[in-house]
Amino acid sequence: MQVAIALYPRFTALDVIGPFQVLVNIPGVEVVFVASEAGPVMDETGHCPLVASLSLAQVTAPDVVLIGGSGFDDDPTYDNPYGVADLRVVEWLRAVHPTATWSTSVCTGSTYLAAAGLLDGVDATIHWARREHLERLGARYTEERVVERGKVITAAGVSSGIDMALTLVGRMFGPELGQAIQLGIEYDPQPPFDTGSPAKAGPELTALVKSFMDAVIAAPA
């Protein structure tokens, strides 16, 4: 079974590394990083490159597709109507989705699925600060942390990729393996603060974080 994790310029590292760690040690599962061209792809911070071992053209029939998000989602400098960094990834998703068993996303990776036409009129999730972008692309935003609709699974912001990957393992191999992996990576969240969603954080903190995120996109590259 091949799991293809797509990379593109300025991706968010945890979006893809969390699911990678959940999936990589399952016997019989090959996890590969892919990109438009094989080689290093730089994350959004400019400090954490990951290496795509294969190009998109080399991966034509993955069993599972996973696309992470970016803090620069919907950057106005992107010259396309979808607000994504790499249209070649969108085209690849359109090509491989029909034969894939699962197509999945983390955070703003769902905008790539939507741009590929996979979320038209479909319930999906995304980072809370980018819900409008997802809705403009035809999806129906929901606040759920992990949303499963048919063979498409979307996860909310950044850290939810681990939840999504564990959900995926449960669907593919049964809950026992998912439980074992959760224990193996000691995924037992006990955050020091209870502000992980707008509903918990309150309007003032939510507005502050949203303004910071918008300023990052608006800043010159």
Active site residues: 107
Torsion of CA 160, 102, 94, 156, to 10 degrees: -10
Tell which residue, 39, 32, 42, 31, has the closest CA to residue 8: 42
Beta bridge partners of residue 5, listed in sequence order: 33, 66
| Nearest of 194, 154, 217 to residue 19 by alpha carbon | 154
Report how far residue 12's alpha carbon sits from residue 31's, in angstroms, rounded to the nearest whole number: 18
State whether the Cα torsion 101-106-109-111 is positive or negative.
positive
Q: Write out the two tokens for 47.
A: 């400090």
How far, in Å, CA of 9 to CA of 44, rounded?
Answer: 7
Give phi and psi for 74, each to the nearest 5. Answer: 65, 30
> Smallest Cα–Cα separation from 43: which of 22, 70, 6, 24?
70
For residues 109 and 161, is the Cβ–Cβ distance under 8 A?
no
Helices marked H in 34-188 — which ranges? 87-96, 110-115, 131-136, 160-173, 175-184
